[in-house]
Chains A and B, each alone.
Chain A
């Protein structure tokens, strides 16, 4: 158990809908990262938050947004969903600013299926 929790574990929804994925980092970790893993793809970095502030953006679509709250939990909002958004979404956390040598601890993921 990494100490990172993600809810829900599974989510089935329809095209055009909006969903919110939630992540609670390990106790004491200030950084939260979101990744998307589509079929036969590696984990694609979406976005990084540190202590409530956005630090870096990766291949995140404009239909997607995220935020980190004062209690450090984070939410990833996916809107106007398309079939291609079906994927595993992972959240990870790390202690500090997320330097390249800082270990990231991953949650179990949320599997999203868009029908």
Chain B
């Protein structure tokens, strides 16, 4: 059963506009969330994270928002650049029955059109 879901397999955005990638989770024990970015033929690389004690974390053009009541997080990229074209994975971890391991979503392929 997929505990972390990314329901949009792909997203296309014009250069300079905002990209919004969404992620939903089901396990209320998750309390730490991450976004990874993956280029073809490379492994995922860490992008940004957020703890459940916060509802927003910002790093340059990247902002992650967490809505705990909705069990939803999103990654905003502003402004989007062609180099941002990649697959983005959402991941979650936590204590309790989560086993302290990372659970990944299926990824969203972002294409930024010049």
Contact = CB atoms under 8 A, between A and B. Distances in A.
A112 interface: no
Majority secondary structure, A binding face: loop
A11 to B, nearest CB: 15
B32 interface: yes
A24 to B, nearest CB: 13
Interface string B87-99: 0010101110001
Contact of A43 (B31, B44, B51, B100): B44
Contacts of B102: 43, 45, 100, 104
Given A56-B99, A104-B102, A4 B4 contact: no
B57 interface: no
Size category of the B interface is 20 to 34
Contacts of A42: 2, 4, 6, 89, 103-107
A58 B105 contact: no
B41 interface: yes
A103 interface: yes
